[in-house]
Structure 1
Amino acid sequence: MLKTAVGRFRFVALLEGWSFLILLFIAMPIKYLGGWGLPVTIVGAAHGGLFVLYMITLLLATISARWKLGRVVGAVLLSFVPFGTFWLDARIKRDPA
């Protein structure tokens, strides 16, 4: 999976997706229901770094695989949707070009 630009993008997309879910469904409830904000600080920073890495690897995969604009825009939009990167990974796995 990590041997190609698309494979590296898929890997980072999955990490970014997991960090987003952990932020939304674990860290934020702890902050707002439990009154403890540290998990949001830690997970939020990790998620932010992974999001930047997601965008960089998306650019590299786009150049390498010559993805069309529609796929790139879809990948950006899906990064803002819970479980979106997992759906994207399944689509890329089925049709990487």
Structure 2
Amino acid sequence: MIKTFKIIAVLEGFSYLFLFANMFITKNINLDIYKSILYPLGMAHGVLFIAYLILALLVKIKVKWSINTFLIVCAASLIPFATFYVERKYLKNGNI
């Protein structure tokens, strides 16, 4: 489960960045491209976001994270690049 959470954390971070890139770059280039890419990227990011939060809860229960650690991990899903930080600090360095 922890390995799956690591993968989802990285994928969620990349999907967030791709969504921002699509929003900022293609919106000004061509409206049709923007609309055709936005839905699949948004859907993928939404699914990964929900999976990230569910897996964070399951890992919290399994590893017995403190409430502060759990809230930091959950808040990281809202900030660009923060899931990479969580993956590195809380999941990779032997804290689990």
Q: What interval of TM-score do these two structures reach, taking the shorter chain for normalisation?
A: 0.7 to 0.9
SS in 1 for 2:14: helix
Q: Once the 2 structures are TM-superposed, how far is the Cα of residue 7 of structure 1 from its aligned partner?
A: 2.1
Q: Once the 2 structures are TM-superposed, how far is the Cα of residue 38 of structure 1 from its aligned partner?
A: 1.5
State how 1:21-36 maps to structure 2 within 5 Å.
21-25=17-21, 27-34=22-29, 35=31, 36=34
Count matched residues.
92
2:65 aligned to which of 47, 67, 75 = 67
Instruction: Return the alpha-carbon distance in structure 1 between the equivalents of residues 35 and 73 of structure 2.
Output: 30
Match of 2:76 in 1: 78
Query: Which structure shows the bigger proportion of residues in helix conformation?
Result: 2
Please give the root-mean-square deviation of Cα atoms over the aligned residues, in Å: 1.3
Instruction: Return the alpha-carbon distance in structure 2 between the equivalents of residues 45 and 72 of structure 1.
Output: 25
8 Å CA contact 1:31–1:37 kept in 2: the answer is no
Stretches of structure 1 that go unaligned for 5 or more consecutive residues are none
1:8 aligned to which of 4, 9, 26 = 4
Q: Once the 2 structures are TM-superposed, how far is the Cα of residue 10 of structure 1 from its aligned partner?
A: 1.3
Match of 1:17 in 2: 13
Match of 1:96 in 2: 95
Q: Once the 2 structures are TM-superposed, how far is the Cα of residue 11 of structure 1 from its aligned partner?
A: 1.2
